Structure 1
Amino acid sequence: MGNPEENMRYHKLLSYLWISFLGILVAIPIYLLTVKVNFLNLYGSLPSITILENPKSDLTSELYASDGVILGKYFRYNRTPVQYEEISKNLINALLATEDYQFEKHAGIYLSGIARAFFLSILLHQNKGGGSTLTQQLAKNLFKTRSEQYQGLLSKVPFIKTIIVKTKEWMVSIQLERAYTKKEIITMYLNTVAFGNNAYGIKVAAKTYFNTTPDALSVEQAALLVGILRAPSYYSPTRFPERALRRRNVVLAQLCKYQFIRPATYTELKQRPIELQYKVEDHNQGIATYFRSAIREFLLTWTKEHGYDLFEDGLKIYTTIDSRLQKHAEEVIAEHMRVLQKRFEQQWGSENPWVDENGKEIPNFIERSAKKSDIYQHICKKYGADSANVYMETPIPTKLFSWEGEIDSLISPIDAISYNKRLLHAGLMAMDPHTGHIKAWVGGINFEHFKYDHVMQGKRQPGSTFKPIVYAAAIDNGYSPCYEVIDAPVTFKMHTKAGTWTPKNANGVYTGKKMTLRQALSKSVNSITAYILKQIGPELVVDYARRLGIKSPMNPVPALCLGASDVSVYELTGAYSTFMNKGIWTEPLYITRIEDKHGRVLQEFVPQKKEAINEETAWLMLHMLKGTIEENGTFRGLSKEMRENNEVCGKTGTTSNHSDGWCIGMVKDLCTGVWVGGENRSIHFKTLATGQGAVTTRPIWEKFILRLYADPDVPYNKGPLPKPTMPLNLPCMQVQSDKTMATKQLTEFNNPPLNDMNSLDNEDAQGSAEIEKDSVDTYINADEVF
């Protein structure tokens, strides 16, 4: 026997070890139990069973075209889920070989990993991966177990905090393994993990880096993506390609080590360079960018009212837009606007295009515009108004839009504003007049540089394109397209200092000849439109504009006959569509239904409809508008290709000083509105020949329609316009035989008033004159520019 004292010490040590061991055996369950129940809020809560069984991650909401194409997305984190069957086996193998080779065998954790995590990560503070299984990583990513919402009173103690966090992740991992299959866990992991560059989840990552789908990933592509997961910023293949290459080859080596690929394959693949097709999805790219932005406010309102989050609930929004028509529309706008911009620059040369009614440059135009800009307001807020002018004149790196490609420039903000003011803008909307479905929406020339939408948001004077509404009101109240009126001056009494107003024709000449209403509309004769408005009253015209869906402010003044009140492309296209839909105004519709992430329909949308005019009036208006071609009117320049075996009608418009060019054109099953102009009304072409709607907008409409006819995949073909249900008799006679009125007109023609548009005050005449090739009146109020 040994020394009694040594034996005593040995037995005491053995007793201490057993007590410690038994204490640990007792303490661990107690510790785990207190963590589970969050005893005294010491540890912070765990995700509930309900949350574990119904995990939620931020999912991208997707916007679909009517032909199934994804138009765009709304997201905070760009993430779109896929199913296990949609994931390449190459990716699964690379993930398991690199991150968790024992994945199929463990129950969420494995002891060797826990021991490594305890000694290296916790005791020695060395970041060696922590022994985390894929399930643990999923717990951390999906349920954010380290976030503030899961912290308790002990979470502020550094060492203790780490132990608690790891414990919770182990516990959640075990629960996940009980709730889900291995395939479900790996799918959730790949759908939620971040790959850098705003790519969350494997579907977006495959698209971002390789422009492919998860099921089509090659071995080396899969290896690169799995390699990125270790540290997305550090191993970014776009910023640090050498690091990314080394990391990819590490993953390939792991694939070889665990016999997922042969050594010869590994040797061959590791020699390959990284080949990316990199493109980050953002809100400025893709098709229908203006449309996506324009309906965003509606969607935000809808989701708020219905308890959803547009940016994280993975909604599927189905729209009426046809991606094929949208693409054609965007390409035609770009093609024609490039030509117009070049012509505009050649015409103005070194002169500034912002001029007053006398053609003189408006003093301090850019300075005044600059003070309204967002950048000026930002500078004032950050540095103070006194310093704003200095910063506005200091050159800074700036990207400028041009039709030849984006320009990287060192330019001052005020010079950049001057540059942008010289650019022409455009808007186009095409809709099915029968269903109300909007098929194409182009709100401008480049969304990344110019966010303002010229379809719904922008409103400008429509000029002669408003005249059909005047005639529709008249015909619906007893007038006929055959009603004859003498082309003579029409004078209105005004409640102004001027006293009276007499709108002029194109060259100030009145022929004194009789014209039918159809002929007058086709040639856009101002005097006859004014005569009709005077007979029926501007209040009635406003009433009919409202019936036809125009909601913009509209004063019942004489200048209304020449398109004085601002309207949008959205409103005016919807109004014209009524003529093609038997007099039924159908609200332009852009969304058909919204579904949740599971495909459950949350709401279906149908357009509002109402009878605006009777069917006979609607057909007569189509007959009237066909006169712009058949009566040698403002649509007479259409190509033979457009006219042949086809029925077409429409109207162009041009406002004062050629500031706004308009065209509303109609063919079988499609009504399309187009606007072109400067950012401000004072910015325009110098001459009518270059600035009228027949030159700036009608070619866009015609090219767009001809592209549709030439595309076999687009369901639009030549054919007749709608016909009336009952045959109509159009006697070429006046509704009224009013010799007294005819005599009065001739008397006024022989003794015309001396006043003109310039005598009107701003309220009654603001920009009310209309310029057409056959009918011109010149007026502009420079004050309205600001």
Structure 2
Amino acid sequence: MILARAKGASKLLGLCLIAGVLLAAVFFPAAAGFGAVSNQAADTVSGTSAEMESAEPAVVTTVTDRDDNPIAYLYHQNRVMVGPDEISDEMKAAIIAVEDHRFFDHDGVDWQATFRVAVQNQFAGRIEGGGSTLTQQYVKNYLAFIVGDGDEEAFGEATEATMARKLREARIALDIEKRMTKDEILTGYLNIVPFGNETYGVHQAARTYFDTTPDQLNLPQAALLAAVVNAPSVLNPGRNPEDAQRRRNLVLNRMGDEGMLGETVEDSRRVAEEAKQEPLGVINPLNRLPNGCVGHGNGDVNGFFCSYVMNYLREHGFDDEDLKRNGYTIKTTLDPVATQAAKAAAEQEVGKTTPGVANVMAVVEPGRESHKVRALVANRDYGVDPDRGQTSWDLPSAVMPFGTGSTYKIFTAAAGLEQGYKIHQEFDSPESHTSSVYRNGNNPYVVTGGMDRRVSLQDSLAFSPNTTFVQMSEEIGLDSVVDMAYRLGLRKGMDGVNHNGTGIDPDSDDPRVSMPQRDFLKQNNMGAFTLGFTPTSVLELANVSATLTSGGVWCPPSPIEAITDKHGNPVEIEEQPCEQAVDEGLANSMVVALSKDDTVGTAANAANATGWNRPAIGKTGTTQGHRSAAFTGATPQMAGAVLIFGDGASPQPICSGPPVTECGVGNIYGGHAPARTWFRAMNVILEGTEVAALPQADPRHL
């Protein structure tokens, strides 16, 4: 008996010591024996609580189309901040009932609960937690997920079972209560706490589990979310519904017992019992927010555009981590109608899962102040599963290691007009031509493919004789042709990549990769440039047509309409300014020169087959061996380009079919599936718009 009393007295003495140390450490840290270390810690209390008062946690950035429909989300933590009036009373009551029912009665630390838990811990012989107020939990979660950024080590420090951590929480909690109202503290807690399934804060929890907003959460829903907070992994309602429901019902019981649900406790308990009969109501599948350009419901359609947006923002000084943390709204130029039309047209010509063949289209809206990208699509979906016809290769926007054939004759014709050629001027078009200017290695450069008669510049563009354009290039000079390609729109294609279509490596001894494509072509006097064998970006080729139909004004193909920060303030992006790439009269004359392809030229059959009936410019192209084929064109309202090429591990020649496939000996041309893709897409994109006339040629070029 004496021994038992001695043990009890010892434990009681220990409890008194703990209580004394706790009180001393909170209110008189230096006097409590912690010395300089405790004083230093005390100095951080005010700083931490001040940060919490104006905390701006990592939140979701939303990328939208031109109509404000989300096409992608970027985030480090899946969180959207809300204000106190955006959270239902049921949600607030549920979290208070289960986590801190004396929340409105204490000053940040519930001393009654603290001493009770201290007794339990003393008899248990270790710190087991418990007794923390919502304010203290707010501090813990802030340190773990905002200051610590969810890092495993930081989370461990913020949640370690030590007296030092408890003291730190208590001191910060007391200071926070002097700075913030109870409603602000409660809202802050609900905004940062994790709810499982990579979801942070009540806004995204309501969306993830119930596809609703926090102001619309009803009693059973609110009770479930309050339950999940206790142990998000263990109480995951998707994987462990029985335990989640058990905890939810406990929350409802607490609410009932506290009289939160009725005029009397009896009424409150009755409402709680009724709510307990409700199913969990969690949606299946969960409405989890995808992160990045892959995994959206529309990701298969919009993913290529999203990827271009990300690359574009990086090039203009935006940091990935900044984008994932700071809750921007990035309104893009993506037109959902144009995107769906182009996607459908691409798949109609080349099936999504066709082995080794990609059909890619870019659509750009002409203009003298901007060239807005309206669609970037492929027959492939954007994703990581090749068996489902997916790829994460930036097919429509990156420089592809394939040429676009005779579309490059546009640059030769434009350079010729600039040097005095006329649209109706006639040129020789022999069946074969041996160049006196260009070489094929150590051999003469021989080109075939002529009309065996004299032909005008306009008809040359429509019927595309190779010998005519090689002779033109000899006369006006390759440098002028290459520079014209750059001026009209092949900017990255000429200066941003090497001759192999990859990044420039100035340290390489191989000139094919150590210098920009433009310099390599000039230095090696590569006359075949006019026949379009070099790597090309489909987007840049579309922008060439946009430049011509914009009176010769080149603008960067921009995917950005506007950017705002999380507070709705505009965020500037310094895009390259538009420039008068060529004289307006020359551009208009080139439009006229290119206006016969869809009526009598190489694209006429495709235009007729698709019911095309608008004035347009156009140019087809096919590379040697039928390994790729292209079409680029425009009306005054919209420009676009299409390229079909091999996207397999070992690209093969392509047959036009139908269906379009890889084959041993190719026979595809730009006037086949590429032109049909363009006309089909543009028929839908331009539906309901006026049939706009093309501009008149400058008399100087007639």
Q: Distance in 2 between matches of 1:700 and 1:190?
A: 51
Alignment partner, residue 447 of structure 2? 503
TM-score by length of 2: 0.78
Deviation at 1:101, TM superposition (A): 2.8
Native 8 Å contact 1:140 1:146 kept in 2: no
Q: Structure 2 vs 1, CA of residues 170 and 572 (structure 1 numbering), >3 Å: closer, same or farther?
A: same
Q: Structure 2 vs 1, CA of residues 177 and 729 (structure 1 numbering), >3 Å: closer, same or farther?
A: same
1:597 to 2:534 alignment: no
The AA in structure 2 aligned to 1:30 is F
Alignment deviations for residues 56-93 of structure 1 (CA, whole Å, 9 cap, x no partner): 42223332333222332222222222223332333223
Q: Structure 2 vs 1, CA of residues 136 and 704 (structure 1 numbering), >3 Å: closer, same or farther?
A: farther
Alignment partner, residue 698 of structure 1? 675
Alignment partner, residue 104 of structure 1? 104
Q: Structure 2 vs 1, CA of residues 442 and 176 (structure 1 numbering), >3 Å: closer, same or farther?
A: farther
Q: Structure 2 vs 1, CA of residues 255 and 303 (structure 1 numbering), >3 Å: closer, same or farther?
A: farther
Alignment of 1:646-657 (within 5 A): 646-657=614-625
1:462 to 2:404 alignment: yes
The AA in structure 1 aligned to 2:236 is S
Q: Structure 2 vs 1, CA of residues 475 and 145 (structure 1 numbering), >3 Å: closer, same or farther?
A: closer
The AA in structure 2 aligned to 1:315 is Y
Native 8 Å contact 2:220 2:276 kept in 1: yes
Native 8 Å contact 2:48 2:172 kept in 1: no
Deviation at 1:233, TM superposition (A): 0.9
Native 8 Å contact 2:595 2:618 kept in 1: yes
Partner secondary structure for residue 196 of structure 2: coil
What is the root-mean-square deviation of aligned Cα atoms in Å?
3.8
The AA in structure 1 aligned to 2:683 is L
TM-score by length of 1: 0.71
Q: Distance in 2 between matches of 1:106 and 1:318?
A: 45
Q: Distance in 2 between matches of 1:730 and 1:452?
A: 45
Q: Distance in 2 between matches of 1:335 and 1:121?
A: 70
Deviation at 1:304, TM superposition (A): 6.7
1:424 to 2:360 alignment: no
Q: Structure 2 vs 1, CA of residues 639 and 28 (structure 1 numbering), >3 Å: closer, same or farther?
A: same
Match of 1:285 among 283, 291, 295: 295
Alignment partner, residue 670 of structure 1? 638
Partner secondary structure for residue 283 of structure 2: coil
Alignment partner, residue 359 of structure 1? none
1:570 to 2:539 alignment: yes
Q: Structure 2 vs 1, CA of residues 32 and 105 (structure 1 numbering), >3 Å: closer, same or farther?
A: farther
Alignment partner, residue 261 of structure 2? 260
Partner secondary structure for residue 598 of structure 2: helix
Alignment partner, residue 736 of structure 1? none
The AA in structure 2 aligned to 1:285 is G
Q: Structure 2 vs 1, CA of residues 659 and 146 (structure 1 numbering), >3 Å: closer, same or farther?
A: closer
Q: Distance in 1 between matches of 2:602 and 2:426?
A: 17
Alignment partner, residue 514 of structure 2? none
Alignment deviations for residues 267-314 of structure 1 (CA, whole Å, 9 cap, x no partner): 365342544141432321224323333443554565678x97332233
1:583 to 2:540 alignment: no
Partner secondary structure for residue 638 of structure 1: helix
Alignment of 1:321-332 (within 5 A): 321-332=334-345
Alignment partner, residue 479 of structure 1? 421
Q: Structure 2 vs 1, CA of residues 97 and 704 (structure 1 numbering), >3 Å: closer, same or farther?
A: farther
**Most deviating of 425-434 and 187-196:** 425-434
Native 8 Å contact 1:627 1:633 kept in 2: no
Alignment partner, residue 536 of structure 1? 476
Q: Structure 2 vs 1, CA of residues 584 and 298 (structure 1 numbering), >3 Å: closer, same or farther?
A: closer
Alignment partner, residue 628 of structure 1? 597
Native 8 Å contact 1:592 1:604 kept in 2: no
Native 8 Å contact 2:52 2:142 kept in 1: no
Unpaired runs of 5+ residues, structure 2, are 1-14, 150-155, 263-267, 386-390, 494-516, 661-667
Native 8 Å contact 1:524 1:634 kept in 2: no
Q: Structure 2 vs 1, CA of residues 239 and 652 (structure 1 numbering), >3 Å: closer, same or farther?
A: farther
Deviation at 1:563, TM superposition (A): 0.2
Alignment partner, residue 513 of structure 1? 453
Alignment partner, residue 366 of structure 2? 433
Deviation at 1:560, TM superposition (A): 0.9
Unpaired runs of 5+ residues, structure 1, are 1-16, 150-155, 343-421, 711-715, 733-786
In the alignment of these two chains, the number of paired residues is 619
Q: Structure 2 vs 1, CA of residues 167 and 672 (structure 1 numbering), >3 Å: closer, same or farther?
A: same
Native 8 Å contact 1:87 1:215 kept in 2: yes
Q: Distance in 1 between matches of 2:98 and 2:313?
A: 42
Q: Distance in 2 between matches of 1:575 and 1:210?
A: 48
Deviation at 1:458, TM superposition (A): 3.5
The AA in structure 2 aligned to 1:470 is T
Native 8 Å contact 1:487 1:512 kept in 2: yes
Q: Distance in 2 between matches of 1:157 and 1:594?
A: 37
Q: Distance in 2 between matches of 1:159 and 1:141?
A: 9
Deviation at 1:495, TM superposition (A): 4.0
Deviation at 1:561, TM superposition (A): 1.4
Native 8 Å contact 2:356 2:651 kept in 1: no
Alignment partner, residue 578 of structure 2? 609
Deviation at 1:731, TM superposition (A): 8.6
Q: Distance in 2 between matches of 1:331 and 1:160?
A: 56
Match of 1:451 among 392, 397, 401: 392
Partner secondary structure for residue 664 of structure 1: strand
Q: Structure 2 vs 1, CA of residues 582 and 427 (structure 1 numbering), >3 Å: closer, same or farther?
A: same
Native 8 Å contact 2:470 2:530 kept in 1: yes
Q: Distance in 1 between matches of 2:482 and 2:157?
A: 72
1:719 to 2:691 alignment: yes
Alignment deviations for residues 83-110 of structure 1 (CA, whole Å, 9 cap, x no partner): 2333233322322232233333333222
Q: Distance in 2 between matches of 1:256 and 1:128?
A: 28
Q: Distance in 1 between matches of 2:159 and 2:119?
A: 12
Match of 1:490 among 433, 453, 466: 433
Deviation at 1:579, TM superposition (A): 0.5
Native 8 Å contact 2:602 2:671 kept in 1: no
1:144 to 2:158 alignment: no
Q: Structure 2 vs 1, CA of residues 97 and 133 (structure 1 numbering), >3 Å: closer, same or farther?
A: same
Alignment of 1:214-293 (within 5 A): 214-257=214-257, 258-260=259-261, 263=270, 266-267=273-274, 270-272=277-279, 274-277=281-284, 278-280=286-288, 281-283=290-292, 284-286=294-296, 287=299, 288-293=302-307
1:525 to 2:465 alignment: yes
- Between the aligned residues of both structures, percent identity stands at 24
